[in-house]
Amino acid sequence: MATEFVGPQGARGDASIQTVFSGFQCLSLEERRERMETGLGLDAQTLDGLTGVEGPRLESTLSTVENAVGLFSLPLGLGLPLKVNGRDYAIPMVVEEPSVIPALSFVAKLVGEAGGFVAEADPSLMIGQIQLTRYGPPSFAMARILEARAELLALANAMHPQLMEEGGGARDVEVRLLPAPEGPGMEPLLVVHVLVDTKEAMGAHLVNTMMEGIAPRIEQLTGGKVYLRILTHLSDRRLARARCSIPERALADFGLGGVEVAEGIVQASRFAQADPYRAATHNKGIMNGIDALALATGQDWRALEAGAHAFAARTGRYGPLSVWRREGGNLLGDIQLPLALGTVGDTQRAHPGVQAALRVLGHPPARELACIFASVGLAQNLAAIRALGSAGNQRGHMALQARSVATSVGAPPEWVEAIAALLVQEGEVRVDRARQVLDRMRGGEGAPLEPPPPGARRQGEQV
C-alpha cells in the first residue's frame, strides 16, 4: 500500500517549545506550572489536569469500572523536546519507572541536534473480522460475498453516517480462507475482512458495530453461520514509521569513542534480528515509551501492545520492530509498527489529564500523533541499546538516570556530571543521596568529592 507523508501541524512553533522548556528540569513543580501557564497559554483547568488537582471523580468511575473503590495515580512527566518532522514536541508520559523520561530526553537532544526524527503514518484503516462456518463450497461462498461488496459497504456505512460525513467509512471487503487448525479433513475457516477508515477515532466501537450489522446479511448470502464479528488489533493497514540519522562522532560516551558506541548499537540490533528471546526485550524497550505516552493521551495501550507484538511475529518468527545500521559515518535507525490511535473518544472527552496532555502536544490529528508515537518508540529503543551495547545495563542505564536526578535537585550545570558519576559509582542513584552530595559540594564551594571505595553498595536498573 502506498503511504502518504504526514507533515507537522499544530498551533505552536518550535521556538516556543525550546524557550518554555529551557532548564525545565531545574525548576520546582510550582515554577514548572507557572512556566507552562505563561509560555504555552494553558489555563488553570488544564494545568490542574496535568498536576492531578483536577482529575476524574470517583463517582464517574462507578459507571465505567465494576466494583470501583477508588482512584490509582501514577506520575506524569514530560520528555523534552522531541523533534519530529521539523517540529519540537513536549512528550507527556505517565510512567512509574524513573529512567524512561530522562532516557527519552537524552536521546531527543542527541537526535535533535542531528536534525530530528522523520516519520510518516498510514490512513486510519482498521480491519473488522467476521468468522463464517458451515458455508458449503468455499468458492461459492467467497464469490457471493465479493459480488455483494457494494451492498455490504453501503450497509456498514449506514450505521455510522457521521463517519461518512467526516470522510471516513467502510472502504473495502476482502475474503480469506484459512486452513483448519485441526488439520486436513476439517472445515477451513472463512473470514471476511472489512476495511474501515476511522479517521480521528481509534475505531473499536465503530468497527464492531459495523461487523454486527452486516453479519446477518453475510449469513443470508452464503447460507452459513457467523460466530465472531469483531475488529482485529493487528492493524497492519495503519502503520507508522520513523527514522533518524546520527553522526557516529556524536555518540561518544561512557569513555568510548563514537564508532565503538555505534558498533555496539548495531550488534545489539543484530542480536534482536537473530534471536526472538532478545527481540522480546528489544521491543519491550520500544513499548516503554509508547505505553507511557499512550497512558497520558488516553489510548488503549493494551491494544497497542497486542498489535505491536503480533506485527513483530507477522513473518512466522518473532523479530524486532526497529533496526539499526551504520552507513557513511552515521548511525541509522528505522522503526515500523501498527499504531491505532484516537484523538476523540470517551477518555479524551472525560479525563482532564488526557485533555491537558493532548493540549501540551498541540492537539495533533491522529496521523500526526502516530508519527510522534513511532518516534518516541525509536528514541526509547536507542536509549536502551546504546547503554546495553556499550557500558552495559547497570552502568549505562544508571548513568542516564543519575544525570537527571542530579539536575532535579538543583545542581548547577557544571556540577551535574560530577554528582552523577559519584551516584553511579556508589550505586545510590536516589534523590535524597543527590541532595546530600550537592549540599556537601556547596559547603566546599564545588570541591570534588572522593569516590567510595570499590565494593560499595550498588543498585541495578532494568531496561
Q: Which residues are catalytic?
A: 97, 284, 300, 397
Joined grid coordinates for residue 365: 490529528
* Close Cβ partners of 142 (under 8 Å, ≥ 6 residues apart): 175, 177, 190
Pick from 33, 59, 35: nearest CA to 46: 33
d(CA 253, CA 232): 43
Instruction: Please list the alpha-helical segments (H only) found in 79-203.
Output: 100-112, 138-147, 149-158, 161-165
Pick from 247, 264, 245, 246: nearest CA to 256: 264
Joined grid coordinates for residue 340: 491505532
What spatial distance separates the first Cα and last Cα of the chain, rounded to whole Å? Answer: 35
- Tell me if 433 sits within 8 A of 426, measured CB to CB: yes
**30 φ/ψ angles, rounded to the nearest 5 degrees:** -65, -40
- Tell me if 135 sits within 8 A of 218, measured CB to CB: no
Distance of CA 423 to the CA centre of its chain: 30
Count CB atoms within 10 A of the CB of residue 134.
13
CA distances from 153 to 74, 156, 194, 236 (A): 43, 5, 8, 20
Joined grid coordinates for residue 238: 495503519
- DSSP letters, 292-316, are HHHHHTT--HHHHHHHHHHHHTTTS
